[in-house]
Amino acid sequence: MSASQLLGKLPRRAIIGGTVLLALGMLLDMYGLPTFSSRRSFTASCQEILKSEAALSKTQVAQLLTVSEGDKKQRIREIVKEPYCKLPDLQIRAGATAQREAYPLDFERDTWVVVLYEGEQYTGYRFTTQ
């Protein structure tokens, strides 16, 4: 039985209800469940707070996204300046330790950018939410 045949046999209410549940699930996935946490929940994983007033603007994020992996750490620092904090190092690949620095966004305080380096080489970034 094809998908269109199966849909033809389902009552209209079941289709509408399923669509609403799917849309709700997608919204919760995109925006996460409501949270009452503060900056402290993310900063608990910080090893060392370097600059408590550090935050990235939309312009800085846009510039960061244009930098290629493998570029120099200094190039990233020219854009994002000093981080809010350093996170514990990670072993991502065999024989390579990644250093991580975290920056909150000044326009979305529950979202942070984590920048990864291997030595003096920029290896990427990720966005994380509380």
pLDDT in tens, 108-119: 988 999 999 999
Q: Any idea what the CATH number is for the domain that residue 119 is in?
A: 3.30.1450.10
What's the domain range around 48? 39-129
Query: How far apart are the C-alpha atoms of 17 and 26, rounded to whole Å?
Result: 14
Whether residue 50 sits in one domain with residue 21: no
Closest listed residue to residue 98, CA positions, set 109, 108, 107, 88: 88
The tens digit of pLDDT for each residue in 23-79 reads 555 544 444 444 333 444 566 788 989 998 999 999 999 999 999 999 999 999 999
Q: Are residues 71 and 123 in the same domain?
A: yes
What confidence score (pLDDT) does residue 96 get?
85
Residues 74-111 pLDDT 10s: 999 999 999 999 999 988 888 889 999 999 999 998 89
Domain identity same for 16 and 72: no
